[in-house]
Chain A
Amino acid sequence: MPEYSWPPMNKRAVMGKSFDRLDGPQKASGRAKYSSDLNKPGQLFGVFLHSPHAHAKVKSIDISAAKAMEGVTAVRIIAGPGAELQWAGAEVAIVSAVREEIAKDAIRAIKVDYEILPHVVQEQDLSKVGSRAKAAGEQVTGDPDKAFKEAAAVIDGQYGCPVITHCCLEPHGNVVQWTGGTVNLWPSTQAVSSIGGDLAKQLEIPATDVKVQMDHVGGGFGSKFPSDRWGSEGAKLSKESGGRPVKVYLDRSNELTIGGVRPSAFAKIKVGANADGKIIAWQSESWASGGVGGGGMPPIPYVMTKIENFRLNHTAVSLNAGPARAWRAPNHPQASFLTCSALEDLAAKLNMDPWDLFHKNVEMSARPEVYRKQLVKAAELMDWKKKWHPRGAETGNIRRGVGLGMATWGGAGHASKCKVSINADGTIEVEIGSQDIGTGTRTCITQVAAETFGLPMSAVRVKLGDNAFPASGPSGGSTTIGGVSSSTRKAAVNALEKLFERVSPGLGVPADQLEAVDNKIQQKGNPAKGLTWKQACQKLGVDRISEMGENVPAQAAKEGLNTLGAAGIQMAEVEVDVETGIVRMRKMVAVQDCGLVVNPKTAASQVYGACIMSICSGLMEERVMDRVTGHVLNDDMEFYKLAGMGDIGEIVVHMDITPENDKRGIIGLGEPCAIGGLAAIANAAANALGVRVPMVPLTPDRVLAALSSDRRNA
């Protein structure tokens, strides 16, 4: 058995070092080509006709006028007579034409007669959703009623966060061509190795007939795994148009309407603690919606899962709105927000610093020691003990406050296969059916290969984004870095062993006594006895060494290359103008548990980006549904508000890179850092204002309403 384990931390020359993204200059200069940038010769444009009604049945559809338009090559009906449409924006038909403008004019020429059905699109007020509510069974542990009676302090709160979308810079879509027996797909996907098979199923052709290629993807965040209508309908349009390639991309309005959402989460929460702040009882009635399918219960109580007495009730609400898709750490930001908000309110009731309350109660988490250390570190970086004050201590027009939120995540590597080749000129080629969704996957794979061969980054060429390469898992669940690093490591070690075997006789050193370091192959620890890397590879002549490596999740933990479990603490400091209700970020601190970190810079970038997403959802981001028309009203980037540079404040990222964490192997990072920020911001506002704003984002209307109800209560 070859030795695959990672080289010791202090011996690594390339891994663990901060490298800029290899594709950074290409992306920043616009030279990087996303699938949405492609314009193939003879390309057509596909445009959907979307349902104008939130809930309707198609009575009849007439496409003849569209078909007759000059420049239109094909028209396809997606929802024929009898089809029930469950949200405004649902695809009804699709047109391909020689120009996008013509396709857009053509869909307006399609005549559809709808039977309009009643719709429900808002779920904030559960009492108004009628039969759309589906209760899940009650879960009870211990004796919550008794515990509440015995509690020294009990709080009763209501909290909510609305549906938000993924807002990928590159919307959903693809270029696709079906000609002869082959479908060429240039997608925007998080799943290069599986999307082809998916499309093949929809087209009822063999998976081997679908060729997938993608160099870059402009954001996915969980919303770009399957092959969608733009793939299957685009392919059919292509076939019907004589095999010309068809580009189908959602525009921003459709992207925000049907490109996927993160489900909302609301809850009435009651928590009880004894006098010294230990939580003894929890009760929650939660509800959520991510569209017609309703919405599951976020994992509450979050992190402190060992509370002894609790009662959980959840209701899924079916709405006539675009469907949910996985959104960076599905259900965790919501769970963290609901739980940590309630706990902050509890601390206020007990006149306790919430830091102390959290510090005490992490005893009930799976990893108390880690959270305690992180709480200490985060407090130090935020200067928490100096900045925190009891509620109501701030009385001016501009009030500051601090808050915290917690996170937990898995992040073990996914199944991944990889082929590594050593060429006679000394270059290394890595082929892997993975994708770089902007996280730095290319760069990290290059580092792993360079480290294994004792070479500089420039000697390694990584090829990904093609389903002809060995299959690697989809980029979801923070599983990519563990999966691709492990398969690359194993393939590289396997290839290196083969090279050792080649040069061993000449050197007179047994293969298992050789090592590759510093551009050399040498007897272990003896630079005098060796060859330069170049000389060694020349021995291959016209040959090349190609070896496979595979990460098998069930075995990974034993091998120690990757594992799971990432905790995190985030803190926020905000400033609120109580005359306008406008909340501004001052500072965020993210203390992130991790394993072996391949590239501290790209890892920290994940955390920065996650903090910014939390700021968006904490302060401004929400989908606005119109109860009357059932439409998404803010289907643009003007009123679907995201933070800009000036809205972000200072962000301090602390990656917990230590020898003991390093020993755990690689753990995914994309999602755990996107969880705690929302709760931290909401809690910071509560601390600043002296009153809870029950619902995020903290828009001026909500902040002012919370302040005036506080005044009325006082």
Chain B
Amino acid sequence: MQNFEYANPTTLNDALGLLGSAWGEADVLAGGTDLLSLMKEYIHSPKRVVNIKNIKELGGISKVGSGLRIGATVTLDELSSNAMVKQMYPSLAQAAMEVSSPQLRNMGTVGGDLCQRPRCWYFRGGSGLLGQDESGKSLVATGENKYHAIFGSGPAWFVSASSFGPALIALGAKVTLQSASGKREIPVSEFFVSPKSNGEREIALKPNEILTQIVIPAAGKNANYEVRHREAVDWPLTAAAVNLTMAGNVVKSATVVMGHVAATPWRASQAEQMLTGKTINVELADKAGEAAVANATPLSGNSYKVQLAKVAVKRAILRAAGIAI
């Protein structure tokens, strides 16, 4: 691990002043559950590490209007055990609980979860964000890709790692990104991007910005479902988050977002249309699942994930509607 300077600011302004203008100058440290591995593996070698856990204003969960504000350094454990979150956004609480390691839940933060780097084994093995050989050929496409993307047109074939991404997009949440020169608020759906080159990031965050908070509006019936190989700590093979605005028994509008199927969370608009104006039952949920994956383009070794994405969508819909899976 390269030597680095460690900064421990207590105000947001101080922290923002310590960030760099290009990646590689400074890294924000929250729970460190991802950053430490990245540094030990020489994937990140920042000159300065800026701890943000001692900045009070980045913490806390509070009501804003009919929704909630969640501070960036709220831990996964705080999130999953918060009564308001559980009541208003079960999809989020479920997503946090599914990170099935108490250690990770105690240390990891919501901001860190959204900003964590992909787990693609080529990226983590040192072949760059897009996982390419020296000639620029995709190692993912020609090599082992059973945990990779089944949607998208490349060149990024990793899957977005955050379980909160799909849930927050389905809930219509926004994130605040702040730099020394000001702040911007963007929908979470625009926070995740599919990079076109190794120099880019998979999130809209700039090197001089800190993700300070997430604001979630009032939601409909919402739920999350993850297909996991193991009960023990594991990554989802596929996931889906659903938010249903109901008029009595009928779906007025629906948002369905799949996770771990593409370089960004993946909106399933066909499934949403299929649900709109209808009453949820098992058959409809199954059809919506099918519609969600109709345009999937799996790689050489991951066509099974198409079925798993379909099941995740189906089960998330049923769970949101309160129907036994």
A contact residues vs B (CB 8 Å cutoff): 101, 104-105, 108, 579-582, 584, 620, 624-629, 631, 633-634, 636, 638-639, 641-647, 699-701, 704-705
Whether the pair B229, A582 counts as a contact (CB closer than 8 A) is yes
Is the pair A704, B125 in contact by a Cβ cutoff of 8 Å?
no
Interface of B, helix, strand, loop or mixed by DSSP: loop
Contact A641 B230 (CB under 8 A): yes
**Whole-angstrom CA separation of A641 from B230 in the bound complex:** 8
How close is A642's CB to chain B, nearest CB, in angstroms? 8
- 9 additional A-B pairs beyond A580-B307, A701-B146, beta carbons within 8 Å, are A101-B1, A624-B144, A628-B142, A629-B133, A638-B235, A644-B233, A647-B231, A700-B229, A700-B237
- Cross-chain contact of A580 among B127, B227, B230 (Cβ < 8 A): B227
Indicate if the CB atoms of B311 and A647 lie closer than 8 Å.
Answer: no
Residues of A within 8 A of B133 (CB): 628-629
Which residues does chain A contribute within 8 Å of B17, judged by CB atoms?
none
Q: Which residue of B143, B231, B304, B311 contacts A701 across the interface (Cβ within 8 Å)?
A: B304
Hey, which chain B residues are within 8 Å of A620, CB to CB?
229-230
Q: Give min CB distance, A46 to chain B, whole Å.
A: 17
* Residues in A whose Cβ lies below 8 Å from that of B146: 701
CA A624 – CA B229 in complex, angstroms? 16
12 contacts between A and B (CB under 8 A): A104-B1, A580-B227, A581-B304, A582-B229, A624-B121, A636-B124, A638-B234, A639-B147, A642-B232, A644-B231, A646-B231, A647-B231
Inter-subunit contact B304/A700 (CB<8 Å): yes
- Quote the shortest CB–CB distance from B132 to chain A (angstroms): 11
A628 to B233 alpha-carbon distance, docked (Å): 29
| Residues in B neighbouring A624, C-beta threshold 8 A | 121, 144
| Cβ-defined contact, B121 with A580, below 8 A | no
Which residues from chain A contact B127 at a C-beta distance below 8 Å?
629
Q: A638 — which chain B residues lie within 8 A by C-beta? A: 119, 234-235
Please indicate the chain B residues that have their CB under 8 angstroms from the CB of A644 in the complex.
230-233
Q: Across the A-B interface, give the 10 residue pairs with the lowest CB-CB distance, nearest first.
A: A644-B232, A646-B231, A701-B304, A628-B143, A633-B121, A579-B311, A647-B231, A704-B304, A626-B143, A101-B1
Of B121, B232, B235, B308, the residue contacting A646 (CB under 8 A) is: B232
Q: How far is the CB of B124 from chain A (nearest CB, A)?
A: 8
Q: Which residues 159-215 of B have a CB within 8 angstroms of A?
A: none
Q: Is B139 an interface residue (CB 8 A)?
A: yes
How many A-B residue pairs lie within 8 Å, measured between CB atoms? Answer: 85
Contacts of B227 in A (CB 8 A): 580, 582, 700
Q: Is the CB of B144 within 8 A of A705?
A: no
Which residues of the partner chain B approach A645 to less than 8 Å between Cβ atoms? 231-232
CB distance from A307 to the nearest CB of B (A): 37
With contact pairs A631-B125, A641-B230, A700-B308 given, residues A108 and B144 touching in the complex (Cβ less than 8 Å): no
Which chain B residues numbered 24 to 46 have a C-beta less than 8 Å away from chain A?
A: 42
Known: A700-B237, A700-B304, A705-B304. Is A627-B143 also a contact (CB below 8 A)? yes
For A104, list chain B residues within 8 Å (CB).
1
Interface mask (B51-88 → A, CB under 8 Å = 1, otherwise 0): 00000000000000000000000000000000000000
Instruction: Find chain B residues with CB under 8 A from A639 CB.
Output: 119, 121, 147
Structural contact, A580 and B143, CB atoms closer than 8 A: no
- Which A residues touch B230, using CB under 8 A? 620, 641, 643-644, 646-647
Residue contact B42 to A580, C-beta cutoff 8 Å: no
Docked Cα-Cα span, A643 to B228, in Å, equals 13
- Whether B229 and A641, one on each chain, are in contact in the complex, defined by CB atoms closer than 8 angstroms, is yes
Give chain A residues whose Cβ lies under 8 Å from the Cβ of B1: 101, 104-105
B103 proximal to A (CB < 8 A): no
Select from chain B the residue with minimum beta-carbon distance to A703.
B304
Given A580-B308, A638-B235: A629 and B229 interface contact (C-beta under 8 Å): no
Within the complex, what minimum Cβ distance (angstroms) separates A630 from chain B? Answer: 10
Decide if B249 is an interface residue (CB 8 Å cutoff). no
The verdict on A647 contacting B232 (CB below 8 Å), with A628-B143, A633-B125, A700-B237 known, is yes
- Quote the shortest CB–CB distance from B123 to chain A (angstroms): 11
Output the least CB separation between B105 and chain A (Å).
15
Tell me the minimal C-beta distance from B196 to chain A in angstroms: 22
Closest approach, in angstroms, between the C-beta of A701 and any C-beta of chain B? 4
Output the least CB separation between B41 and chain A (Å).
9
CB neighbours (8 Å) of A700 from chain B are 227, 229, 237, 304, 308
Q: Is the CB of B121 within 8 A of A634?
A: yes
Q: How far is the CB of B237 from chain A (nearest CB, A)?
A: 6
Chain A min CB distance to B113 (Å) = 16
CB distance from B80 to the nearest CB of A (A): 17
Q: Which chain B residues numbered 220 to 263 have a C-beta less than 8 Å away from chain A?
A: 227-235, 237
Query: Chain A residues near B233 (CB, 8 Å)?
Result: 644
Residues in B with CB closer than 8 Å to A633 are 121-122, 125, 143-144
Task: Give Cα A638 to B99, complex, Å.
Answer: 12
A634 and B124 CA atoms in complex are apart in Å by 10
Cβ contacts under 8 Å, A105 to chain B: 1-2
Expressed in whole angstroms, the Cα–Cα distance for A105 and B127 within the complex equals: 19
List the B side residues contacting A628 at CB < 8 Å.
133, 139, 142-143
